[in-house]
Each structure stands twice: as C-alpha cells, then as structure tokens.
C-alpha cells in the first residue's frame, strides 16, 4: 500500500481536482483506492457527492477506530470531511503524538487498499503535517504562475523537516503543472523554472485549463465519468501513468 499526500499550501492550484482524478484514474486501472479529504472546506467530498456522510475524518481523528470509508464506485472509496475539521487543529494541539493521528487511522485500515491519496488543506498546518507523517510520497500540483512558484521553497523545507524529524520514509514523488496554457510565455517560463528546481520530478504531462474539469464536480463526478473522451481525461490518464512510474 502506498500513501500519497497531495499538497500545496497555495490555494486554487487544482489540488482537490487532481486528487479526485488521479484517484479515479488509478481505480480505472484496477487498483483499490481510498481518498481522504483532510481539508475542512470538504471540496473533495462535495466533488464526489459524499458530503452528507455521517462519519467524517473529523470523527476518526477523535476516535481512530472502526473506519468505514464511503464507496463511490467499484474500487474507489472516500473518507469525507466537514467544516467540523476546522476545530480539530485546536482540539489536538495539546495531545501527545498529535502528528501521528492520521497515520494511526491509516494503520487501522490494514491492507484493504492499494493506494491512499490524502487531499491536504491549503496550508502548512498540523493537518498537513499529519498527512506528511503518514505518507510515503508528497505529490505537488502547482499552477503555472508566479505566486505559486514562490511558495515551493517553503513547502520543500517543511517536507525536509518532516522527513528528518517524523517520517524518514517521506519523499517528494513528483510535481506537475495545472491550468497550463502553452500559448502563454509566462506558463512556459514557469515550467522551465520548476524543472530547474525539481529536475526529473517534474512530470511531462501538463493539465490544461478546461471547462469540463470545472463542471465535473458540480455533477458529483470525476472527469472520466463526466467526459471520458475529453482532453483533461486523457491528460489525467497520462499523468497518472507517470505518477506510477515515479513512485514505483
């Protein structure tokens, strides 16, 4: 079982969209996949229409036993989130071993899943640290613009500290660009800068800006269910194949 934390502390970079669609692509390839919505905004849960579940990640943080993920379809499961999760950081701040709570939840799942993807909040909070402590790999989506680029050094610094202090097995699995428009000089320049920073960890597949990607969550669907012949469906298929190569 591999655990992937999908993280970028800059919001609006396609993090949740990518978690949903990489997870869906993996399940389409025959893997059993669990998505954990660790963001209090619960966008992943809403995107797959599981926001009304009675048991959420917040409940399991309070009592990390008897985990019952919600099945979205064959091979794809979700532990949803809720706004209650925003209180969790305060509630667990004084608990001993607070960085290991999500790891404990995952351990209690046993070996039911081939892949677990954690959708991290857009911050470097105790929830994100929990995800990094539980993960084998961090995968980083980023928008091909200047401001998201500026935050990369801080994110990699935090990952290095978690690796040194809490999780020696943690690695940056890959980085990929979202909302990419090859016609824009800035987007191409950012791609070169990211490649200079991360080298071969930058995936060759870029995710384009797409109306279908914006519409799919409103229907409670991933891109493959919503429009399996679309350009973004093809891009996420190729991107997921690259992710598998990087973390194998």
Q: How many CB atoms lie within 10 A of CB 6?
A: 29
Three-class SS of residue 177?
strand
Residue 211 pLDDT:
93
Range of the domain at 11: 2-247
Residue 218 pLDDT:
93
Give the distance, in angstroms, between the CA of residue 197 and the centroid of all CA atoms in the same chain: 21
Residue 149 pLDDT:
73
Looking at residue 33, which CATH number applies to its domain?
A: 3.40.50.300
> Which burial class, exposed, middle or buried, applies to 188 when counting CB atoms under 10 A from its CB (0-12, 13-18, 19+)?
middle
Three-class SS of residue 56?
coil
Structure tokens at 10: 């800059």
Residue 71 pLDDT:
95
Number of domains in the chain: 1
Along the 248 residues of the chain, how does pLDDT read in single tens digits? Answer: 999 999 998 888 899 999 999 999 999 999 999 999 999 999 999 999 996 677 999 999 999 889 999 999 999 999 999 988 988 888 888 888 999 999 999 999 988 999 999 999 998 889 999 999 999 999 999 988 777 677 788 899 999 999 999 999 999 999 999 999 888 888 899 899 899 989 999 999 999 989 999 999 999 999 999 999 999 999 999 999 999 999 98
Residue 42 pLDDT:
94
Q: How many CB atoms lie within 10 A of CB 205?
A: 17
User: In this predicted model, what pLDDT tens digit does every residue of 96-122 receive, in sequence order?
Assistant: 899 999 999 999 998 899 999 999 999
């Amino acid at each position: 079982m591999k655990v992937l934390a999908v993280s970028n502390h800059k919001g609006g970079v396609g993090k949740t969209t990518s978690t949903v669609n990489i997870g869906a692509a993996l399940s389409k390839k025959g893997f059993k996949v669990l998505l954990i919505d660790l963001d209090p905004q619960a966008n992943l849960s809403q995107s797959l229409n599981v926001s009304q579940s009675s048991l959420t990640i917040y409940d399991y943080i309070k009592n990390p036993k008897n985990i019952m993920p919600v099945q979205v379809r064959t091979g794809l499961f979700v532990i949803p989130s809720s706004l209650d999760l925003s209180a969790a950081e305060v509630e667990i701040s004084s608990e001993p071993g607070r960085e290991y709570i999500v790891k404990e939840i995952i351990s209690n799942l046993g070996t039911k899943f081939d892949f677990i993807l954690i959708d991290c909040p857009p911050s470097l909070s105790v929830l994100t640290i929990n995800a990094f402590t539980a993960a084998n790999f961090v995968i980083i989506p980023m928008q091909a613009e200047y401001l998201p680029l500026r935050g990369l050094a801080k994110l990699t610094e935090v990952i290095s500290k978690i690796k040194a202090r809490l999780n020696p097995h943690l690695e940056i699995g890959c980085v990929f660009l979202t909302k990419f428009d090859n016609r824009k000089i800035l987007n191409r320049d950012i791609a070169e800068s990211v490649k200079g920073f991360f080298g071969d960890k930058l995936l060759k597949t870029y995710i384009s800006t797409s109306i279908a990607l914006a519409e799919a969550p409103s229907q409670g669907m991933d891109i493959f269910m919503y429009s399996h012949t679309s350009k973004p469906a093809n891009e996420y298929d190729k991107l997921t194949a690259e992710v598998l190569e990087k973390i194998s």
